[in-house]
Amino acid sequence: MRISELARAAGVGISTVRFYERRGLVVPATRTHGGYRYYDREALRRLKFIRRAQQLGFTLTEVGQILAFSSEPADLGDVITGKVAEIEQRVHDLERVRLALLDVAANGVRERCPVVAALND
């Protein structure tokens, strides 16, 4: 598929595909003599993975490491340990915000908004 078809299938812009290509995250399967890029289903799968991983809080560097690991096994221990700690902190913060929102829903806003307090503490 051409770059425009790939972008449309993945729900991203063409510039996003080109950006990921420059970062080495997505690679065209072939190029024509005229320089047109053609991508296969693997490129679409990788592009969807990248977008989902970003939504979950992974950086492009981390995504690149994971994708590299999927083709050439390596030690990702430090990356995984750091990401687990980051996720646990995010879960903790989100739980505090959730409880603050429930408090506002049940009791309204008092002198100090519990949501602001949860985000500031």
E strand or H helix that includes residue 14: helix 14-22
Query: Which residue has tokens 């687990």?
Result: 84
Mean pLDDT of the chain: 87
Q: What is the pLDDT of residues 27-36, one digit of tens each?
A: 999 988 888 8
What are the angstrom distances between the C-alpha of 78 and each of 41, 55, 85?
A: 31, 21, 11
How far is the first Cα of the chain from the last one, in angstroms, to the nearest whole number? Answer: 49
Q: What is the pTM of this model?
A: 0.70
What's the whole-number mean pLDDT along residues 47-57?
Answer: 92
Residue-wise over 64-102: b if at least 16 C-beta within 10 A, else e? Answer: bbbbeeeeeeeeeeebeeebeeeeeeeeeeeebeeebee
What's the whole-number mean pLDDT along residues 36-59?
Answer: 92
The domain defined by 3-71 folds into Multidrug-efflux Transporter Regulator; Chain: A; Domain 2 (1.10.1660)
Domain residue spans of the chain: 3-71, 77-120
Q: What is the pLDDT of residues 106-120, one digit of tens each?
A: 888 777 777 777 777
Q: Which of 52-66, 71-85, 96-110 has the lowest mean pLDDT?
A: 71-85
- Facing residues of 31 across strands? 37
Decide if pLDDT at 17 tops 90.
yes
* pLDDT > 70: percent of the chain: 94
